[in-house]
Amino acid sequence: MFSKDAINTYFSAIDAEIQDLLGYPQTTPDEYWKMLYYHMDWENYGQPDPKRGKRIRPLLTLLAAEAQSGKWQAALPFAAAVEILHNFSLVHDDIQDQSDKRRGRLCVYKIWGMPQAINAGDTLFTYAHAALRRAQIPAEDLVTAWQIFDDTCLALTRGQYLDMSFETRNQVSVPEYFEMIGGKTAALLGASAELGALAAGANAEQREHFREYGRHLGLAFQVRDDILGIWGDESVTGKSAATDIITRKMTLPVLYGMEQLPDFAAAYATETATVPDIVAMLEELKADEHSAEVEQHHSDLAMHHLAEIEKHHPAPELLKQLTAKLLNRAH
């Protein structure tokens, strides 16, 4: 079980770093600041209390720094950067997906309108880069951090492009799928861990293990998400297990089914095949078992790189607990 005191120590430090950067609180913020403070879950402005984000990425940054040197405070600017970047992507994702709600309340664009929400997302993107400047590390390491961060931004936008393009296609290859989740999900987790290690003085070889640990963690996490999107327990996940199929989402089990059987691809491209029909075909093709094997493969690789990290320094218990929680989740 996670220690609530330990978690709260990290989360309080992350929030304080981001709030200081964004000048929160203000006595009379105008609408520009209200959009940012609302999306970051600091203010409600008439909406319900938010379901706070998990803050996995910045936590991973701090725990990676602690694993490398035992000191996590130096990584706080990088933790702020990855969390703000993640939130930038959410503001724009909500617009692109035309989602009404985020964390149980209206999205920014549903309150302030699409043009201003785009501006809010752009502002968060800029603040994510501004957070990097607060790091007290050697100049050459800061340049490296900037390169890591910008490469991650490019991977994120490429992953988002592919994800949206899949919605208009009847055929997507498994390599394309992994390029998409590698950019949209895994790249930021990999960067989060690598930046934490960099802040703690890790060399290039050590940073690679942190990056690959985070990257494979992200890949396994997304494949598990795909599995739960079809076979998850709705009472646990809080999401209908039929949604991904009804919307004809291109997930790994579906893409595997398409590769194995053209008749399945044809059925998935129509609206007449029911959810039970699709699930039955996937199970007959053992798409669930195949996806679980792929998830296990990336889980094993994540644990391999974590073991390599521990050859130099023992990983904090909280990092091991977080890894186990992400790799063995039911929701």
Amino acid at 281: M
Beta bridge partners of 105: 102
Is residue 2 predicted with pLDDT exceeding 70? no
Can you give the pLDDT at residue 237?
A: 60
- Measured CA to CA, the distance from residue 331 to residue 322 in angstroms comes to 14
Across 120-129, 162-171, 229-238, 292-301, least confident range: 229-238
Domain count, the chain: 1
**CA angle at 163 for the pair 263 and 207, rounded to the nearest 5°:** 120
Is residue 7 predicted with pLDDT exceeding 70? yes
Is residue 196 predicted with pLDDT exceeding 80? yes
Q: pLDDT (tens digit, 9 = 90+) per residue, 124-159? A: 999 999 999 999 999 999 999 999 999 999 999 999
Is residue 4 predicted with pLDDT exceeding 90? no
pLDDT band at 181 (very low <50, low <70, confident <90, very high): very high
pLDDT band at 118 (very low <50, low <70, confident <90, very high): very high
Q: pLDDT (tens digit, 9 = 90+) per residue, 22-44? A: 999 999 999 999 999 999 999 99
Can you give the pLDDT at residue 239?
A: 60
Domain that holds residue 10: 4-327
CATH code of the domain in which 186 resides: 1.10.600.10
In angstroms, the Cα distances linking 24 to 37, 178, 225 are: 8, 38, 34
**Cβ(275)–Cβ(246) under 8 Å?**
yes
pTM: 0.94
